[in-house]
Amino acid sequence: MKAAIFREVGKPLTIEDVEIGEMRANEVRIRVAASGLCHSDYHIIAGDIPCPVPVLLGHEASGIVEAVGENVQHFRPGDRVVSCLSGYCGECGECQTGHSNRCDNKPIRPAIAGEARITAKGEPIYQLGELGGFAEEMLVDARSLVKLPDAMPLDLAALLGCAVLTGVGAATNRVNIRAGESVAVIGCGGVGLNAIQGAKLAGAGRIIAIDLNPAKLELARQFGATEVIHGSAEAAEEVLELTGGGVDFAFEVVGLPATIRQAVTMLRKGGTAVLVGVTKFGTDLAMPAGPFIQKEINVVGSLLGSVPFQIAIPRLADLYLQGALKLEPLVSQKIALEDINRGYDQLAAGEIARSIITFDT
């Protein structure tokens, strides 16, 4: 089968013929229908986050089950599914207390001879998050999948596995936004736009979108932003002036120290900053400590929607089918696997919200 393989920082992904391993008892083989280009994968391509190579990236994927292992009980051939990085063991303390997104013992299959599920001419290929959605087929642990309603379009469903889950979940699960409260979202890419619509679903009365790209700010209005601010060094001061003292919640969806500091600065007294954006490996953050005490502000992180994906994704699909969740405007373009490098160049330039690779199924 064809797959896009990442081999070296600074070099484009290569489209290669790879072999898929023999299915094991807990695995599911999927014919991939669509796979989103997520900024988390780009961090690896850019060298911001270390990762074994060669690696098959892609974690935001949907498809149709082709076969299941003998121990798999909840899936069968023909099922429509979506993958998530949040595979889980189901047995650790985090899983047992409803936090499988923070699982201590996620399924891991090292890319070594005899263990790798994907190979290229005998060479072991690592699968990011045990997935590897930038390929025509996936062979994954059943605990990394969730079933979709039959009416859910597979191209849009791919986005539920990361961008929508992460953004909407940060606003609806990690914090308790009460009706009428104010929200700011820094970064209006795929995840940020979903934080905006998550805040709207939660009942926020005022939602301020902040981004450098005017087109993304206009898109933010479609998702529920009531006001927009062009991203600059003065963005926090603009929010403070606009709101007369700051917002109740600020979602940082960029992953830079400067924007994290802005998120904290634009809070009202007692406000909460929610850090969602993935930071470069080893990033340190320095900022004045006084406001944390004097303003009694809070800073929290949110990982993959702060909720078990196997519960959240079906709910998100239902919200879409009921007309309460926007997905179509997230898709900037649909591309072929061979166009993946162009898609990531556009993502890095901040030109688009989401590109989706589509496959014949």
Which CATH number goes with the domain that contains 50? 3.90.180.10
Question: Residues 271, 342: one domain?
Answer: no
Report how far residue 189's alpha carbon sits from residue 30's, in angstroms, rounded to the nearest whole number: 28
CA neighbor of 253 nearest in space, from 314, 351, 349, 164: 164
Predicted pLDDT of residue 110: 54
Contact yes or no for 356/37 (Cβ under 8 A): yes
Mean pLDDT confidence for 12-20 = 97
Element holding 313 (H helix, E strand): helix 309-321
Report how far residue 193's alpha carbon sits from residue 353's, in angstroms, rounded to the nearest whole number: 8
Report how far residue 200's alpha carbon sits from residue 267's, in angstroms, rounded to the nearest whole number: 18
- The answer, yes or no, to whether residue 9 has pLDDT greater than 60, is yes
DSSP category for residue 254: S
Question: Residues 227, 83: one domain?
Answer: no
User: What is the average pLDDT score of the chain?
Assistant: 95
**Angle between helix 214-222 and helix 190-202 axes, rounded to 10 deg:** 30
- The answer, yes or no, to whether residue 97 has pLDDT greater than 80, is yes
- The answer, yes or no, to whether residue 261 has pLDDT greater than 80, is yes
Question: Residues 19, 101: one domain?
Answer: yes
Which CATH number goes with the domain that contains 219? 3.40.50.720
Which of 258, 274, 301 is the last residue in one of the domains?
301
The one-letter code for the residue type at 323 is G
- The answer, yes or no, to whether residue 122 has pLDDT greater than 70, is yes
Q: What ranges make up the beta strands (E) of 232-266?
A: 247-252
Which of 253, 272, 301 is the last residue in one of the domains?
301
Catalytic residue numbers, as ranges: 38, 40, 43, 59, 162
Contact yes or no for 308/283 (Cβ under 8 A): no
Which of 281, 301, 321 is the last residue in one of the domains?
301
Question: Residues 97, 204: one domain?
Answer: no
Report how far residue 283's alpha carbon sits from residue 278's, in angstroms, rounded to the nearest whole number: 10
Predicted pLDDT of residue 109: 56
- The answer, yes or no, to whether residue 87 has pLDDT greater than 90, is no
Q: What are phi and psi of 251, to 5 degrees?
A: -100, 120
Mean pLDDT confidence for 71-80 = 97
122 DSSP β-pair partners: none
Question: Residues 144, 277: one domain?
Answer: no
Question: Residues 10, 77: one domain?
Answer: yes
Distances (CA, A) of 247 to 61, 127, 169: 35, 40, 19
Mean pLDDT confidence for 172-184 = 98
Distances (CA, A) of 145 to 4, 153, 198, 283: 21, 16, 23, 31
Contact yes or no for 195/216 (Cβ under 8 A): no
Query: In a 3-state reduction of DSSP, which class is residue 211?
Result: strand
Per residue in 29-52, pLDDT (tens digit) is 999 999 999 988 999 999 999 999
Mean pLDDT confidence for 276-302 = 94
Question: Residues 177, 146: one domain?
Answer: no
Report how far residue 173's alpha carbon sits from residue 183's, in angstroms, rounded to the nearest whole number: 15
Question: Residues 180, 155: one domain?
Answer: no
C-alpha torsion angle, residues 115, 119, 125, 126 (rounded to 10): -40
Percent of residues, the chain, with pLDDT higher than 70: 98
Q: Is-above-0.85 flag for pTM?
A: yes
For the beta carbon of residue 14, count every other beta carbon within 10 angstroms: 15
271's tokens = 């406000």
Report how far residue 139's alpha carbon sits from residue 133's, in angstroms, rounded to the nearest whole number: 10
- Structural domain boundaries, residue 182: 168-301
Report how far residue 59's alpha carbon sits from residue 160's, in angstroms, rounded to the nearest whole number: 11
Question: Residues 54, 138: one domain?
Answer: yes
Report how far residue 137's alpha carbon sits from residue 3's, in angstroms, rounded to the nearest whole number: 9
Question: Residues 354, 277: one domain?
Answer: no
Question: Residues 155, 14: one domain?
Answer: yes
Question: Residues 19, 128: one domain?
Answer: yes
- The answer, yes or no, to whether residue 89 has pLDDT greater than 90, is no
Domain count for the chain: 2
Predicted pLDDT of residue 79: 98
Report how far residue 200's alpha carbon sits from residue 180's, in angstroms, rounded to the nearest whole number: 10
